[in-house]
A and B are shown apart, each in its own frame.
Chain A
Amino acid sequence: MSETWIILGATSAMARAFARKLAQNGANLLLAGRDMAELKRIAADCELRGATSASAVAFDARKPAKFEGIIEQATASGGSLNAAVFVGSMPEQSEMDADASLIDGVVQDSFTGAIRFLHTLAPHMEERESGTIVGVGSVAGDRGRVGNYVYGSAKAGFHTYLSGLRNRLARSGAHVVTVKPGFVDTSMTWGIEGMFLVASPDDVAESLIKAVKKKKNVVYTPWFWRYIMLIITHIPEFIFKKLSI
C-alpha cells in the first residue's frame, strides 16, 4: 500500500521538489494550495514521475472551513497518512511596520492556519498509529531580528506547536519532523541582496526525505545552519539588540 501525503503550499519551489521525490517513490499526493492551475500542472508532473496518484486541492490557510474536506479525501486512500506543511507568507517587515493589519495574514499563513489543519489531521494519524508530519519552519523563528520578526515570531510559534504535537503523536507511533531551512534558492529569495550559502530546493527536499526516513526531530537544512543559529541564539541580548543581522 503506497503512502498518502498531503502537501500544503504545494506550489512553493521547496514543496515541488519534495513532491517530486515522493512521486518517484510512488506516493499518493494531495497537492494543496491556492493557485489551482499551477497545482494541476504540478500534479500532472508528479504522476508522470511515478506518483500512484496526484491531485490538486484548493487550500487557503485563512479558510479553515475547507480543511475537513481535504483530510477526508486523504483518508479515502488507505496506507499511511502523512502531511508536509510548506505554507507561510513573508511581506517586507517595512510594509507591516506601515500597516499592522498585514500581520494577521502572516500569522494565519505561517502559523495558525497551518496548525489548525494539523490539529484536525492529528486524530486520524493517531487512529492509524502511523504517519509523519513534516513542518517547515524557518531559522527566522530561532531569534527575533529587526529584519523580519513578525514572520519570525509566527514561525517560532509554529516550531513550538510542532514540538508539542511531536510529543503527543509519539505516543501513537506517528512522528513530527521540524525543519528549519536557511536561505533556499526560490522566488522568495531571488534577487535579494545579502543572500549567502543558498541551498537548492532539490537539496533541501533530499534532506527532508532523509529526515523522514530517519525519524529526525529537528533538522536544519543545509545542516550547517544549526551552527550558524547556535551562534546567533547565543549572542547576549545587550549586544544583539544593537545588531542588524
Chain B
Amino acid sequence: MRWKTDNLMGWGRALTREAEIARPERLSTLSETIQESPCPAIGNRRSYGDASTAAKAIDFTRLDRFISFDSETGLLEAEAGVTIADILNTFAPKGWMPAVMPGTGFATLGGCIAHDVHGKNHHLSGSFGQHVESLTLMGPEGGSQRISLKSKPKLFRATIGGLGQTGVIVSASIHLAKCPAGKMAVQERRMEDLDAFLEAFNSSRADYQVGWLDMSAKDIHLGRGILEEAHFSSGPFEPPREPRAVPFNAPGFAMSRPIVKAFNWAYTKRVPEAGRDVERPLHKFFFPLDNVHHWNRLYGKRGFHQFQCVLPDDEAPATLALMLEAVVASGLASPLSVLKRLGHGRGGMMSFPMEGFTLALDIVNKPSAKALLARLNELARNAGGRVYLAKDSSLEAGYVADMYPELDDFRAEVQKVDPSGVFETDLVQRLKIRGQA
C-alpha cells in the first residue's frame, strides 16, 4: 500500500497535523494495509476536532459499496465508507431512508456508528447506533469478526460511539426507516427568548425539531431564535442539485461581529412575526449546509472550534443562560448555533445523548476562544452534562470520566481487543480516553 503524506484535520480546521494516509479501494487491500501497519480508520472527516486525526490513518471513503438490501424489512448492509446522503439518495425513491441522519449527508456510515450520531428526531428515534443490527469489525491483525448486540453485547456497545477504538468498522447492517415523502412540511416560529424557546420545545409534538439561536442577542433578548418543527409532507424525492462551493479561505473579517450580527438579523427577519409554514426537500431540511461545499472555509485560515454539550432537563435553563451570556460577552459567536431537545436514546458506552437540551455553536479560533471554551466545558460538567467528543477540541481530560459514566467499562473492553493501542486517535490521546499510559 502506498501511503500519502498529507495534512489531516477535522472539519473545524483548528487542529491540523501531518499524517500518513492509506486509502484502500478493495477489501483485500484493506486487510493487507491493517496487517502491514494497523491504524485507525477515518471517513469523510466531518468530526470537528481531532477525532479523525492520527499519525497514521486509513481513509475509508473508497470502500463505499452497498452490499445487500431487504425491501421487506428495510435492512441494509453497506461498507462503512458509504455516506448518509448516498443512502438517502439511493433508497428514498424506494421509500426508505436512514432512521437517524446527522446534520451533514457527507458523514460516513462508519463515522455515524463510531460517534453514535443523533438527528433532529432523537426524541423519537434515538441515536444512530440503536438502528445498527450488526457490524463487521477488523482487529489489529487484520482478522474480522461479525458482532451484534446479541452476540457480543459488551464489544458491540463499546463499538457504537466508540471512536474507532475497538477496531476498524468494515461494514454494517442498519435498519432503514420508511421514507413517506420527498418533502418536509416545516413550521418556523420566532422565539423571543430562552425561556420561550425551552417552553416551546417542551410542548412540541413535532417529529423533527431544531432551534436556531441568535447569538448576538443579549439581555432580555438572550436566547432569541427560530424554532423549526417538521413532519413529512408529500411529493416525490428529489436528488439535490450540484452544490456551490466556497473556493478559498475567507478573510478574517468574514466572521467579525458586525457581519455576524447583520446575518443574524436577516436570518431572524426572514421568518415573519406570526411564523410561517414552508415545504422543503429532504436534503434542504436535513443537510442545510451541504449545498455549500467547504463552508468551513468561511472561518478563514485559522479555522474554528465547535462546542456541543447536552444538559439534563433540570439544570438546562440556568446553565444555558450562563453559557449564552458567556458566549455573547466574548463576541466570538458565530451565525451557526443550534439548540435541540434530546431524548434518552443511546447505543453505546461512550454515546453522547442524554435526556435534556443540547447546544451546539461554532467559535472562531482566536486566542480568546480558549478561555471561553474552558468556561463552557466547566459549565457543562458542573451541570452534570456532557460534551460531544465528535465536536470537541478543547475538553479537559479530567472531565471525561465525570461526563461518561461507562468510561471504565469502555476502557476494559478496548484493552481486550486492542491492547497495544494501535487504534488511538489524537482525540483519544489528548483526553486520555484509554486511561493513563
Q: Which residues of A contact B (CB under 8 A)?
A: 11, 13, 35, 37-38, 41-42, 44-45, 48-49, 186-187, 190-192
| Residue of B with least CB distance to A44 | B67
Q: Do residues B25 and A42 form an inter-chain contact, with CB atoms below 8 A? A: no
Q: Do residues B90 and A38 form an inter-chain contact, with CB atoms below 8 A? A: no
Q: Do residues B27 and A41 form an inter-chain contact, with CB atoms below 8 A? A: yes
Q: Do residues A35 and B69 form an inter-chain contact, with CB atoms below 8 A? A: no
Q: Tell me whether B151 is interfacial, beta carbon within 8 Å.
A: no
Q: Tell me whether B65 is interfacial, beta carbon within 8 Å.
A: yes
Told that A42-B65, A44-B67, A190-B23 touch, could you supply 13 new A-B pairs with CB distance under 8 A?
A11-B25, A13-B25, A35-B28, A37-B28, A38-B26, A38-B28, A44-B65, A44-B66, A45-B66, A48-B90, A187-B25, A187-B29, A190-B2
Q: Tell me whether B62 is interfacial, beta carbon within 8 Å.
A: yes
Q: Do residues A186 and B25 form an inter-chain contact, with CB atoms below 8 A? A: yes
Identify B2's interface contact among A41, A42, A45, A192, CB under 8 A.
Answer: A192
Identify B65's interface contact among A13, A37, A41, A192, CB under 8 A.
Answer: A41
Identify A191's interface contact among B3, B29, B66, B90, CB under 8 A.
Answer: B3
The 7 closest A-B pairs by CB, nearest first: A191-B4, A45-B65, A48-B66, A191-B2, A187-B25, A38-B26, A45-B66
| Residue of B with least CB distance to A24 | B90
Mark B47-91 against chain A: 1 for CB-CB distance below 8 A, else 0.
Answer: 000000000000000100111110000000000000000000010
| Residue of B with least CB distance to A50 | B90
Q: Do residues B5 and A191 form an inter-chain contact, with CB atoms below 8 A? A: yes
How many contacts between A and B, using CB within 8 angstroms? 43
| Residue of B with least CB distance to A13 | B25
Identify A49's interface contact among B4, B23, B26, B66, CB under 8 A.
Answer: B66
| Residue of B with least CB distance to A41 | B65
Q: 29 interchain pairs (CB within 8 A)?
A: A11-B25, A13-B25, A13-B62, A35-B26, A35-B28, A37-B27, A37-B28, A38-B28, A41-B27, A41-B67, A44-B66, A44-B68, A45-B65, A48-B69, A48-B90, A49-B66, A49-B90, A186-B25, A187-B2, A187-B24, A187-B29, A187-B62, A190-B2, A190-B4, A190-B23, A191-B2, A191-B3, A191-B4, A192-B2
Q: Do residues A11 and B68 form an inter-chain contact, with CB atoms below 8 A? A: no
Contact residues in B for A186 (Cβ distance below 8 Å): 25
* CB proximity to A under 8 Å, residues B126-183: none
Contact residues in B for A45 (Cβ distance below 8 Å): 65-67
**How near does chain B come to A87, taking the closest CB pair, in angstroms?**
16
Q: Do residues A38 and B27 form an inter-chain contact, with CB atoms below 8 A? A: yes
How many Å lie between the Cα of A48 and that of B65 in the bound state? 9
**How near does chain B come to A140, taking the closest CB pair, in angstroms?**
19
How many Å lie between the Cα of A237 and that of B145 in the bound state? 59
How many Å lie between the Cα of A44 and that of B3 in the bound state? 29
Main secondary structure of the interface of B (DSSP, over half): mixed
Contact residues in B for A38 (Cβ distance below 8 Å): 26-28
Contact residues in B for A35 (Cβ distance below 8 Å): 26, 28
Q: Which residue of B62, B65, B66 has the most chain A CB atoms within 10 A of its CB atom?
A: B65
Contact residues in B for A41 (Cβ distance below 8 Å): 27, 65, 67
How many Å lie between the Cα of A45 and that of B90 in the bound state? 11
Contact residues in A for B62 (Cβ distance below 8 Å): 13, 187
How many Å lie between the Cα of A67 and that of B69 in the bound state? 32
| Residue of B with least CB distance to A12 | B25
How many Å lie between the Cα of A35 and that of B27 in the bound state? 11
**How near does chain B come to A196, taking the closest CB pair, in angstroms?**
14
Contact residues in B for A192 (Cβ distance below 8 Å): 2
| Residue of B with least CB distance to A11 | B26
| Residue of A with least CB distance to B26 | A38
Mark B26-48 against chain A: 1 for CB-CB distance below 8 A, else 0.
Answer: 11110000000000000000000
Contact residues in A for B2 (Cβ distance below 8 Å): 187, 190-192
Identify B23's interface contact among A37, A44, A48, A187, CB under 8 A.
Answer: A187
How many Å lie between the Cα of A49 and that of B66 in the bound state? 8
**How near does chain B come to A64, taking the closest CB pair, in angstroms?**
25
How many Å lie between the Cα of A172 and that of B351 in the bound state? 63
Contact residues in A for B3 (Cβ distance below 8 Å): 191
Contact residues in A for B27 (Cβ distance below 8 Å): 37-38, 41
Mark B323-347 against chain A: 1 for CB-CB distance below 8 A, else 0.
Answer: 0000000000000000000000000
How many Å lie between the Cα of A191 and that of B24 in the bound state? 12
How many Å lie between the Cα of A42 and that of B65 in the bound state? 7
How many Å lie between the Cα of A191 and that of B68 in the bound state? 32
**How near does chain A come to B315, taking the closest CB pair, in angstroms?**
46
**How near does chain B come to A171, taking the closest CB pair, in angstroms?**
38
Q: Which residue of A35, A37, A49 has the most chain B CB atoms within 10 A of its CB atom?
A: A49
**How near does chain B come to A38, taking the closest CB pair, in angstroms?**
5
**How near does chain B come to A174, taking the closest CB pair, in angstroms?**
31
How many Å lie between the Cα of A86 and that of B25 in the bound state? 16
How many Å lie between the Cα of A48 and that of B2 in the bound state? 31
**How near does chain B come to A92, taking the closest CB pair, in angstroms?**
12
Contact residues in A for B4 (Cβ distance below 8 Å): 190-191
| Residue of B with least CB distance to A186 | B25
Mark B1-33 against chain A: 1 for CB-CB distance below 8 A, else 0.
Answer: 011110000000000000000011111110000
How many Å lie between the Cα of A23 and that of B29 in the bound state? 25
How many Å lie between the Cα of A42 and that of B64 in the bound state? 10
How many Å lie between the Cα of A229 and that of B177 in the bound state? 50
**How near does chain A come to B66, taking the closest CB pair, in angstroms?**
4
| Residue of B with least CB distance to A38 | B26
**How near does chain A come to B37, taking the closest CB pair, in angstroms?**
14
Contact residues in B for A37 (Cβ distance below 8 Å): 27-28
**How near does chain B come to A120, taking the closest CB pair, in angstroms?**
28
**How near does chain B come to A45, taking the closest CB pair, in angstroms?**
4
**How near does chain A come to B64, taking the closest CB pair, in angstroms?**
8
